[in-house]
A = this chain, B = another copy of it.
Amino acid sequence: MSDIKIKNIFVNGKIESGFIGESIAKHSSKTTIGGHSIFMGQVRRDDQGGKFVYAIEFTAYETLALEKMNLIREEIFDKYPIICLHVYHSLGVVNTGDICLFVFCSAAHRTPAIDACTEIVERLKTELPIWGKEIFEDDSHQWKENN
């Protein structure tokens, strides 16, 4: 529908800390940036009535999710004076302690970078068709519900 290039946000499995470090390094050539705000989601070893989560398996309706993320991205760029915005979300199994979401927002000043980053995290949790299946140590599972 749109001429705009749809960016992929999906990564198979966990998001590596080295990848995050490299993403940060790439911004040193952008000398109008004064502040970077990052949010990362990490899989918790949640206790659900005595059963412990050992992984979350993510699935998504990918085409719909990428199109929606693209709209959110455009709205965020319209709303805040930000310079860069990167979003990555895991698909497939991510173990406890590993990173499943990485949102990276940069601006000349700290306030727009922080506000935009926070708003993106809120919106992607409620608006992107992604589902998390919490897998317990006894191999049973339950579908994650966002608050």
Measuring CB to CB, which residues of chain A are less than 8 angstroms from any residue of chain B? 17-18, 20-22, 24-25, 27-45, 96-99, 106, 108, 110, 113-114, 117-118, 121
Contacts and interface: CB of A to CB of B under 8 A. Distances in A.
Contact of A21 (B24, B37, B97): B24
Query: A-side binding surface: helix, strand, loop or mixed?
Result: mixed
A39 B35 contact: yes
Contacts of A45: 31-32
Contacts of A22: 17, 21
Contact of A108 (B18, B25, B44, B121): B44
A15 to B, nearest CB: 10
A89 to B, nearest CB: 14
A40 B39 CA distance: 12
A45 B35 CA distance: 13
B32 A114 contact: no
Contacts of A21: 17-18, 20-22, 24
Contacts of A24: 17, 20-21, 40, 99
B97 A29 contact: yes
A41 B37 CA distance: 9
Contact of A39 (B31, B32, B37): B37
A113 to B, nearest CB: 8
B17 A32 contact: no
